[in-house]
Structures are given as C-alpha cells and as structure tokens.
A and B are shown apart, each in its own frame.
Chain A
Amino acid sequence: MEQPLTCTQVRGELPLFVGADLELSALEALAEHLESCGACRVELAGLDGARRALRSVKDAPGPTTDAWPALRAELAGEGRLATVPRTSARRFATAAAAALLLAVGGVWVGSRLDQSDFFGPNPGGGLGTASGPGAPDAGARPSTGEGTASSVALRPVETGARLADRAVSFGAVSLASDPSAEAPGGGESIPTGPAGTLTGGASAASSAGHLILPPRIR
C-alpha cells in the first residue's frame, strides 16, 4: 500500500498541480491530500490567485499597428518578392479582344446609323434594297467604281472598319507604350491572333483591317 503524501511533498508539487501539469496519478494523489488538509489548500489558493492574475493578461489588446507595409518594403528591397508581370502575350490578347469588341460594336452601330440615315423615311427598306437617290453623301465618297447601291450597302461596314482601325491602333499604341509588352526577343513581332500575324504599330492596325473588311473596301 502506498504511503500517504506529506504536506511538504504536496507543497513541493503545488506549482505544477495548479496548472494540471502533473501526471494523472500524481494529480489524483495530491487532490486526495488536499481534500483533508486545510493548510495545503491555503497554499494552493495563494498560487491559484497569482496564476489567475497572470492569466488575465491573455485578454490584453493586440497590436495596434499593421506590420505588413514595413515588412513588405523590407522584403521587396531585398528582392524576396517575386514580381508577376503581365506577359506581352497577355497584354496583346487583352488589346486584341478590346479591338475586336469595338470593331464588332462599330459595325453594329454603323449599320443602325445608316439604317436611320438612309432608310428612316422608308422603314420597309433594308440594306440590300437601298437605292441611289436616297443617299445624301453618295457623291462625296471616293468612287469605288461600283454602283450606288453597293456603295450604300458597304458604308456601314466601312464605318465599322474605321472604328476597328482606331481600336486596333489604340491597342497597338498601348502595346508600344508599354515596354514590358515587347516580344521576348526585343523585336516587334507580336503573337498571332486567330486571323493572322500582326506586326505591331500601324501595320497591326492595317492588318487588323484585313480581318474585318471585305477586300474591295480597301
């Protein structure tokens, strides 16, 4: 049979007992002694009170400043942050998509405008049924060597083409103004789109025109 613990033994273990930092068997033995020993309970109460005070610091407010900006600056200064530049291909794709969208939009808007200009008084008329006398600027446009009806019919397409040219030029300008958008080899080659190879700058604009305009417009 085990000897009961003495007060000296118990008090020697109380600093660990108070935080339950003893083996289960030791905890049980001490608890048994404490049940019958008021003096040791007083010792335990003193330790417990101090421990409660100590643990009240747990609820103290946290940091009041954001550490990240200063840390980020340090890490960036040491070159530890990877830069993730937008690739030239990605930039080109964005510009091309914007150009295509504008071109399609331009064609659509142009067709609507022409409908109202030429066929407004004659709502029943369509593009294919337009006739020469109704076209107010038919004579002002450079002659294509074709009949009036075909000129009128192609006009919306041309309006859209101008918008497309501008859009593509805009894209080309934005590419040209961004040094990171250059081709890896430093040349002017720009990745191809689905409709053919573009060569950057003005040629990109004219080539983009090929994508949209019927050959006879050019």
Chain B
Amino acid sequence: MDPVPDKTDDPRSEQAPARPAAQSGPEHVLIRRAQAGDERAFEELLRSYEGRAWRVVRNMVPCDEDARDLVQDGFLRVFRSLERFDFQYAFSTWLYRILTNLAIDHLRRRRPVKSTSAPDEEDADLELVDHDAPAPAAAMESEETVAEVRAVLATLAPHFHSVLVLRELEGLPCNEIAEIVGATHVTVRWRLHRGRKLFQEAWERRGSRAANSSHPEPVEPPVEPPEGRPQA
C-alpha cells in the first residue's frame, strides 16, 4: 500500500515555477522503467545518484551510520513515490530535496535547538557550539580537516548548513537550491551570505581556541538576528 503522500516527496508541491527538466532522454526512460517495476532501472537510478546523495547527507549529519540510514530512507521515499514523479522537474532536485529535508529533520530531532526567535518561526536562526570537540592541530591531515569542517558545519543552523553544503560542496546554482529547500532565490542568497560569514567566524574561533588551548575560555554562541530579512 502506498504511504500517505508526503508534501516533501511530491515534486508537484514545489513552489518554484515549472521549468524544463535538466535531465531527459535516457534518465526519463530509466524512470519510466522503474515506474513499471523494473528492478534494474531502480538499481541504475540508485547507482547514478548514491554518491551525491551520500555526500550531501554525510556533510549534514554527524556520523556515517546516520548518513547511511538517511540515504536509504531517502531513496526508499523516492522509489515509493516514483509513480507520481513529474517529468518537468529534474530527478536530482527532487532527490536532493527529500534528502535535505530528512537531514534537517534528523538534526532538529537529534539535538536541542537554541533559537533567538519565536518558536513557531520556521527558519529560526540557530547557532550551536560543540565545546567538547577537539581543537584543530597545527598541521591537519586531510581526514582530520574533514572532521573539523564537519564539526564547524554542525554548529550552524540547519538552514545555513544545508545551503552551504548544496552550494559549496555540490556546486548547485542558487535557483536550484531554492527549489530544493523550498525557499525563494533571495532567501537562498541571504542564507549563503550569512552561512559563509558564520562558517568563517566559527572556523577562525576554533583556530583561536586551538592556539589558546592552555587557557580555554567558554565561547558563547553569537546572537543571530532571525531570518526573514534577506537583503535583496
């Protein structure tokens, strides 16, 4: 039995105007085959996108295990709703949207949220600092750098975090990110602007803490203005 349709699973629920799908031809054939229950088509779709799906989710959640579960859950939702896929949208946008929403929900469930705005405000501005995280070494190995970057990213509010991941790590344009996160283009640019600045501040703070690790001082998260005042 089909699950109750989830708004986030349905590409027709996008607020963005219709546009020609970025992919067509072979991918549409693949989707149609999967809609008919072709097992190999499902597998090919998974293989085409699992690397990107993994990267997006893994850079948003703190551990491999969570990422694996979320990626699997994301693909399962996509495949369950595939019969409702609207071919005027890009499959990747739909998949990214589901994965991003799953990751954001996961982050919000997983940790307490510190909000400076009204609790019902959807995009409340958040900043979480992990005071127990290890300080960066002077010369970090690549793996350590990755862990450090992820730790700093995790201190950002999910809506900044997701936009940074999609723009900086996936290289998606702001208009596609807007479709994925269900926000306007202006809001995405605002989140990108603030997200880069917040990441820089958190990154440099960690560097300073490492330098002064013999005299650690508690770092208070900066009070951020609530979102909703994007600069045009």
Contact = CB atoms under 8 A, between A and B. Distances in A.
B114 interface: no
A199 to B, nearest CB: 35
A19 B196 contact: yes
Interface residues of A, number: 34
A54 B151 CA distance: 11
A51 interface: yes
B149 interface: yes
A51 to B, nearest CB: 7
A179 interface: no
Contacts of A12: 231
Interface stretch (A59-67, A94-102, A157-165, A189-197): A59-67
Interface stretch (B6-14, B35-43, B116-124, B218-226): B35-43
Nearest to A12: B231
B54 A63 contact: yes
Contact of B76 (A19, A54, A71): A71
A121 B128 CA distance: 100
Contacts of A53: 145, 148-149, 203
A80 B82 CA distance: 10
A15 interface: yes
Interface stretch (B16-24, B93-101, B103-111, B162-170): B162-170
Interface in A55-103: 55-60, 62-65, 67-68, 70-72, 74-75, 78, 80-82
Interface in B163-193: 164, 167-169, 174, 189, 192-193
A72 B43 CA distance: 8
B232 to A, nearest CB: 12
Contacts of B129: none
Contacts of B142: 56, 59
Contacts of A49: 200
A138 interface: no
Interface in A14-68: 15-16, 18-19, 21, 46-47, 49-51, 53-60, 62-65, 67-68
B42 A18 contact: no
Given A53-B149, A74-B76, A81-B37, A67 B50 contact: yes
B68 A67 contact: yes
B55 A60 contact: yes
A60 B79 contact: no
Contacts of A70: 72
B169 A18 contact: no
Contacts of B67: 63
Nearest to A74: B76
B153 interface: yes
Given A15-B192, A67-B72, A70-B72, A80 B37 contact: yes
B75 A57 contact: no
Contacts of B58: 60, 63
B46 interface: yes
A56 B80 contact: no
B51 A58 contact: no
Nearest to B203: A50
